[in-house]
Structure 1
């Protein structure tokens, strides 16, 4: 009897309480949509090709549907409630409510998601068709994303009823703030736009910044991300590339020259050394994909060092990313061919003269 009485009391309270009905319906909907998401994921995991489907298409799309489904349900189901329409701020003559904020968030987030889908799945097909390089692709992607987000922002502001002219005062205040406190951020933002259009550097380029060699990974709104050859990520402000000296090994022509120094002992046949070094360059070109013979390799007789005859082997490669690999391979070949021909690679020597107390002089070679 007690249980029946409790149930009857709950039903009476439920019928008399509108907020309880609303809360229970919302919880039921939320529970149902989460259960549905869980079941779909279980079905996807049962497939053999689940890795491709989950990572590339299914899970992001499922998360997108879940999030927007909940937001739309909140917007529609609670649209007539007082707390949705209650003003908590105002801009000009427009009253800001939770309802208007949800609409603005939906528009901006939907535009952001749409932009990412287009740049990830649709635009690459266009790039492949016209054979655009990686840097051009990145520039188009960023400008497309910025344009979509700017349009979404304007549409969301207009949808909630805010007159853009009412924001002129706010824009003036922001302009003053940029002129004083945000000058550095504004400079880097404008520099980023210049980098995307003028393209002194682009994604994929190999650059040298403060004696650090790395590849351009991303050009963001404020800073550029460089991944060094040691797999370290360096964050460089965009203005740096317009104000400082930067070496771009991939700019215009990716070909670059390598200089390999070598010293041999005095008395060595220098013509024989020259022919052997050219042979090393020829052998490496046959096995390397990046080593090229046009321009031709050249042996430079630098001069007469303190303990060796100094030479330099000049070779060219087509990919600046292969500098270390090619240089190391050539050094191995040079050492091997000099050892096979019994040509000495000297090391620095010094003669020390030590004078004893009895006047004798001891000579020590070091």
Structure 2
């Protein structure tokens, strides 16, 4: 009995255990090399797993436990070997796609000076093509006849027509967004009064990170069916408006000069504030308790609007205070009419 087990272990377990031991020993070195040279933090682990799986498939290719049928689909049987081969092909294609898009394609993008939105679009399209080809190759490798999928495809089509309408709509909308690019990665958008930046355009939904660092998941179809404000579309330059009201005793020309000085001072301190187009002071009109003005300033990056507006408001308040210009607030004057004495007496008498 012991001799038989020893013989079995020598023939079937010794070499796999030795290979496993070698992979465990060298895995940290491979991982460290890939992380240092190619900036791939986890690919070393997957590469080790792939080598081990290929070895197991080749070493135990005639083993009954590897080829024993698990599920039967008509004349086609699924066994553990087919599952491993399918997983190996799809997983390897997925990770190779990620490696190529992160390590090799950026150099091509840099050569042609492509922006981040175009890069993301090409990365997604490349990834989809690789995964579709890998799926077809995996189906062919396991011996499944593609013509057998026609029935499944027809059933899937009915399911899409009834139960998967939203998913299909969002997927197609995502493809449209990648090609038409009404929004792209890095754009500053406003969705239902929420300001944020587009981070990802996935197959079903788009991820937007708000200025409060909240991640908003928006279905792709929303961007094709609803009104969306894209502050970065075509040109990121935006006009900032800073309203202010001053007392009626103030010289409007002095207010205009103060506001323009504030704009030029902010432009000197902040490179995002533009002087072309030039800052402009708009005399809005005569309010209930103030003369109303608006300072128009152009900003080159919509992400800086809040910061620039805050700085300008601080400077406006300081400038008006230095020039002794009053910023009024709404007031109401209450006039009391004198009361007739006889009425007052009669009132007391009635009391």
Rounded Cα–Cα distance in structure 2 between residues aligned with 1:102 and 1:304: 78
Rounded Cα–Cα distance in structure 1 between residues aligned with 2:247 and 2:38: 61
Within-5 A mapping of 1:17-32:
18=8, 22-23=12-13, 25-32=15-22
Contact 1:14 1:21 in 2 (8 A): no
Task: Name the CA shift for 1:253/1:308 in 2 (closer, same or farther; >3 Å).
Answer: same
Match of 1:99 among 81, 84, 94: 81
Partner of 1:5: none
Contact 2:207 2:217 in 1 (8 A): yes
Partner of 2:39: 56
Q: Is the partner of 2:329 in helix, strand or coil? A: coil
Partner of 2:237: 255
Partner of 1:132: 114
CA displacement at 1:52 relative to structure 2? 6.3
CA displacement at 1:200 relative to structure 2? 0.4
After TM superposition, the score normalised by the length of structure 2 is 0.90
Partner of 2:315: 333
- CA displacement, residues 239-275 of structure 1 (integer Å, 9 cap, x when unaligned): 1101111000000111111111000011100011111
Partner of 1:222: 204
Moved more, 80-89 or 171-180: 80-89
Within-5 A mapping of 1:167-316:
167-316=149-298
Partner of 2:24: 34
Q: Is the partner of 1:34 in helix, strand or coil? A: helix
CA displacement at 1:125 relative to structure 2? 0.4
Match of 1:145 among 99, 123, 127: 127
CA displacement at 1:13 relative to structure 2? 3.7
Contact 1:92 1:166 in 2 (8 A): no
Aligned length: 342
After TM superposition, the score normalised by the length of structure 1 is 0.87
Q: Is the partner of 2:326 in helix, strand or coil? A: coil
CA displacement at 1:90 relative to structure 2? 3.6
Partner of 1:89: 71
Aligned pair 1:14/2:5, yes or no?
yes
Q: Is the partner of 1:88 in helix, strand or coil? A: strand
Contact 1:91 1:162 in 2 (8 A): no
Within-5 A mapping of 1:150-161:
150-161=132-143
Q: Unpaired segments of 5 or more residues in structure 2?
A: 346-351
CA displacement at 1:61 relative to structure 2? 3.8
Q: Is the partner of 1:307 in helix, strand or coil? A: coil
CA displacement at 1:168 relative to structure 2? 0.8
Partner of 1:65: 47
Task: Name the CA shift for 1:26/1:212 in 2 (closer, same or farther; >3 Å).
Answer: same
Moved more, 172-181 or 24-33: 24-33
Aligned-pair RMSD on alpha carbons?
2.5
Rounded Cα–Cα distance in structure 1 between residues aligned with 2:130 and 2:329: 64
Contact 2:34 2:43 in 1 (8 A): no
Q: Unpaired segments of 5 or more residues in structure 1?
A: 1-8, 45-49, 361-366
Partner of 1:363: none
Rounded Cα–Cα distance in structure 2 between residues aligned with 1:205 and 1:333: 29
Rounded Cα–Cα distance in structure 2 between residues aligned with 1:183 and 1:128: 39
